[in-house]
Amino acid sequence: MAEALQLIINNKELETMPLLKALFDKHSYKILLSIIDESKTAVQICNENEKVIPISSTYKKIKKLKEAGLLIIDKIVINKDGKKIIFYKSKIRSIEMILNKKQFILQLKKNENNFSKI
């Protein structure tokens, strides 16, 4: 069974949570959905989303999601030209939210799919 992390956030903290800002961005969730089951490069993520997210924005969003602890570098491959290719993977499988007058509860379930070893 997936390991879960539960965050209970009071109303005053809600607006300042970088994790929430990363989750509710209009493109970030698409990036996370793209890399739940398999790791992908930024270019693959961009192409999968029919270039709705420009590649420069994809890299910026990936950086923010990594800083928020929502994704990791799964593997790094060196191509035949000696260029480093980075594959990203979501650290979370699902998110459940509960909102009431006193607090906001966010439950993150860990992504248990195997990660590559760098």
According to DSSP, the β-strands at 92-99 and 103-110 are antiparallel
CA atoms within 13 A on the CB side of 15: 2
**Predicted model pTM:** 0.75
What whole-number distance in Å separates Cα of residue 115 and Cα of residue 103? 34
Q: Which residue has the higher pLDDT, 72 or 20?
A: 72
Where do the structural domains in the chain lie, given as residue ranges?
Answer: 4-110
Tens digit of pLDDT for each residue in 26-83?
A: 788 889 889 999 999 999 999 988 767 889 989 999 998 898 888 999 999 999 999 9
- Classified by CATH at the fold level, domain 4-110 comes out as Arc Repressor Mutant, subunit A (1.10.10)
Q: Quick one: which H or E segment has residue 24?
A: none
The residues, any chain, with a CB within 8 Å of residue 61's CB and separated by 6 or more, are 25, 27, 28, 31, 53
Quote the pLDDT of residue 97. 78
